[in-house]
Structure 1
Amino acid sequence: MKAIIVSSFGDEEVLKYQETETPTPAAGEVRVKIKAAGVNPVETYIRSGHYTALPALPYTPGNDGSGIVDAVGDGVEHLKKGDRVFVAAALARRNTGTYADYTVCDADAVRYLPQNLSFSEGAALGTPGLAATYALYSKAKIKPGETVFIHGASGGVGSLAVQLARRTGTFVMGTAGDPEGMTLIEKLGAHRAFNHRSPGYLEAVKQETGEHGPDVIIEMVANINLMKDLELLAKYGRVVIVGNHGTLEFDPRSAMTKDAVVMGMNIGNMPQEDYIANMYTLSAAMETGLHTIIGKELPLCQAEQAHRDVGEGKGGKVVLTVE
């Protein structure tokens, strides 16, 4: 089969499109004929060698994908050859990589892909979807009637969080950096959208809550927003840190005065029971209209360009398509 192989850590040029052996599923595993693979920022960090946990070389990148089940190992009962599926293998015990014609991973990491979604949409779901469900349900434990504020709601994780939070019966608000992003957030189900580049937008957010403040804040850039989040937050509120790009000076009194809880998260630490539950949540949501936003599609052989686009922060989810 053809796959992207990384034999040394470095810049985008280390992503080589070449022939390799087709993997065989063991007991409890599934082999999927990949039709599309999602590209995530973390994969660019790993490829460069600038990450806390690095795979043994050589390896094939990719945790997320979609395609058709090609073979199943012993003990797999919920999937069969020919099933249309998506793969979210970020927590799989074994994952041979989705930047390939075929991938093998734990059966728990594979779920049905509804007919109303394209393979590209399915490939874009895994890691962002797990991050969104982990933040909302495992960490914040959102409840119907609460107010949820999502910083960076037009991004991969944020756009899914908007849809999931709305489905849970919360009042949803989110931010984007331009009018197009604000329109997108509202189309996805947010009750209110704000431009985080506009002066005074946080005061407008607070006014929308009747000066109460949001019960839950999902934060994508904590080094910029965390202290402002704690000023905005309702008493007994929760802040979940999904992303961060630097350090900040933190005053514990900001949390103490609100009886606030600030939680970090890393989907790599997600307990197995949460992983399985969140996979079921994503599957059910997809069947009832949850969708991902695709920015660009490239053929698998152009993985180098895909990583370059992601590294430069070009808009939208990048997906690699496989013939």
Structure 2
Amino acid sequence: MQAWQVHENGEPGEVMRLADVAPPTPGEGQVLLRVRAANINFPDVLMCRGQYQVRPPLPFTPGVEVCAETEDGRRVLANPALPHGGLAEFTVADAAALLPAPDTLDDAEAAALHIGYQTGWFGLHRRAALRAGETLLVHAAAGGVGSAAVQLGKAAGATVIGVVGGPEKAAVARELGCDVVIDRRAEDVIAAVKEATGGRGADVIYDPVGGTAFQQSTKVVAFEGRIVVVGFASGDIPAAALNHALVKNYGILGLHWGLYNTKNPRLVRECHEQLTELAARGAIKPHVSERVPLAEAAGAVQRVADGVTTGRIAVIPEKGATA
């Protein structure tokens, strides 16, 4: 089979190599899966660089979420068991963690419903307890993680403010349903949020960026507001001034979705059921901006690393691959 492999850490476009390798052998409790679509996530970039909290042994295949087919013909969503990631024709995953792929979504959309939307649902509902009528601010609102949060916020009845970088991403954020879109490259984010909220600020702030975005969040969070920290795409991990959180009376909440798979997997399945229902009635629909063949995966991962993409890029292996 064909699979992308990383033999040394570095930029994805430089270290990813397409190779002919033997299909992975499932371990205890695992199943072999034929990949129908693999979506690229920022953790794939970090793993290539050797900067992710999970460091698979070299060589490894990137790809942390797939829509795939089991040997008995079921269409499922899965997180591949590293080092055998999803940017390949076949992968392996834990049998107990497989989720049914929603019938209302195609393979690329179904794969994109997994990590980003699960992270959004847990961050907004489980951690921040977002309520209808509240204002939600989403940083990087046109990206893979941010776009999911925008749709979930609208589905929950919130007013959504999206912060993006550039006019192209601003257009995408509007299409996703943002009530207010702020281009951080052309506008003062703090002033624009205060104007949009009548000086009150945002009740919930969803931050996959860190760095400057987090510092801006602390200046525009409302009384009893909640800042949900879900990642540091900027590469800058900020230090929180806890005296400021005390004086302004807001909360800083961390969200590591992967922990729920081991700490409380029942909640992951319940979340998937709710996401499937939202997709079935059209309340959410993953924004897949590109669909590329397996041969172009390295360039696609590099574009995610460079921050020039919107939504998700789906990698589609050729049909008919055999193990």
Q: Does TM-score exceed 0.5, indicating one fold?
A: yes
Quick one: distance in 2 between partners of 1:14 and 1:248? 29
Q: Secondary structure at the match of 2:202?
A: coil
C-alpha distance in 2 between matches for 1:242 and 1:169: 21
> Which aligned pairs between 1:226-305 and structure 2 lie closer than 5 A?
226-244=214-232, 245-248=235-238, 250-270=240-260, 271-273=263-265, 274-289=267-282, 290-305=284-299
Question: Does the 8 A contact of 1:108 with 1:276 survive in 2?
Answer: no
Q: Distance in 1 between matches of 2:15 and 2:167?
A: 37
Q: Report the TM-score when normalising by structure 1.
A: 0.84
> What is the rounded CA distance, in whole Å, between the counterparts of 1:26 and 1:50 in structure 2?
26
Q: CA deviation at 1:320?
A: 1.6
Structure 2 residue runs without a partner (length 5+): 319-323
Q: Look up the equivalent residue of 1:16 and give its one-letter code.
A: R
Paired residues for 1:158-173 under 5 Å: 158-173=146-161
- Helix, strand or coil at the partner of 2:224: coil
**Structure 2 residue matching 1:292: 3-state secondary structure:** coil
Deviates more, 1:222-231 or 1:266-275: 266-275
Moved more, 143-152 or 108-117: 108-117
* 1:81-230 pair list within 5 angstroms: 81-89=72-80, 96-230=84-218
* Secondary structure, aligned partner of 1:257: helix
Cα deviations across residues 74-96 of structure 1 (Å, max 9, x unaligned)? Answer: xxxxxxx323333345xx6x773
After TM superposition, the structure 1 stretch with the greater mean CA deviation from structure 2, 116-125 or 229-238, is: 116-125
Could you tell me whether the CA contact under 8 Å between 1:153 and 1:185 is conserved in 2?
yes
- In 2, the alpha carbon distance for the partners of 1:206 and 1:157 equals 24
- Preserved contact between residue 23 and residue 96 of structure 1 (Cα < 8 Å): yes
Between the aligned partners of 1:214 and 1:10, the Cα distance in structure 2 is: 38
Residue in 2 that maps onto 1:6: 6
Q: State the distance in 2 between where 1:281 and 1:246 align.
A: 33
Q: Residue 310 in 1 paired to residue 287 in 2?
A: no
The question of whether the paired residues in 2 share the 8 Å contact of 1:237 and 1:258 is answered with no
Measured in 1, the distance between the counterparts of 2:122 and 2:21 equals: 35
Contact 1:38 1:319 in 2 (8 A): yes
For normalisation by structure 2, the TM-score amounts to 0.84
Tell me the distance in 2 between the aligned counterparts of 1:284 and 1:25: 31
| 3-state secondary structure, aligned to 2:191 | helix
The aligned runs of 1:27-46 (5 Å cut-off) are 28-46=29-47
After superposition, the CA RMSD in angstroms is 2.6
Shift of 1:122: 2.3
Identity score, percent: 30
Equivalent residues of 1:146, 1:170 under 8 A apart: yes
CA distance in 2 between partners of 1:311 and 1:228 (Å): 23
- CA distance in structure 1 between the partners assigned to 2:298 and 2:166 by the alignment: 29
* TM-superposition CA deviations, 1:42-66 (whole Å, max 9, x none): 2122123233431123332211111
Report deviation, 1:142.
1.4
Pair 1:101–1:252, CA change in 2 (3 A): same
- Change in CA separation of 1:48 and 1:250 when aligned onto 2, cut-off 3 Å: closer
Shift of the 97–221 alpha-carbon distance from structure 1 to 2, 3 Å rule, reads closer
Q: Is the 8 A contact 2:32 2:91 kept in 1?
A: yes
Question: 1:75 is matched with which residue?
Answer: none
SS at match of 1:235: strand
- Give 1:182 shift: 2.9
The aligned counterpart of 2:321 is none
Please say which of residues 185-194 and 151-160 is displaced more in the overlay.
185-194
Q: Say if 2:8 and 2:58, in contact at 8 Å, map to a contact too.
A: yes
Q: Which amino acid aligns with 1:132?
A: G
Gaps of 5+ in 1: 71-80
Give, in whole Å, the separation in 2 of the partners of 1:157 and 1:205: 21
Report the counterpart of residue 55 of structure 1 in structure 2: 56
Q: What secondary structure sits across from 2:46 in the alignment?
A: helix
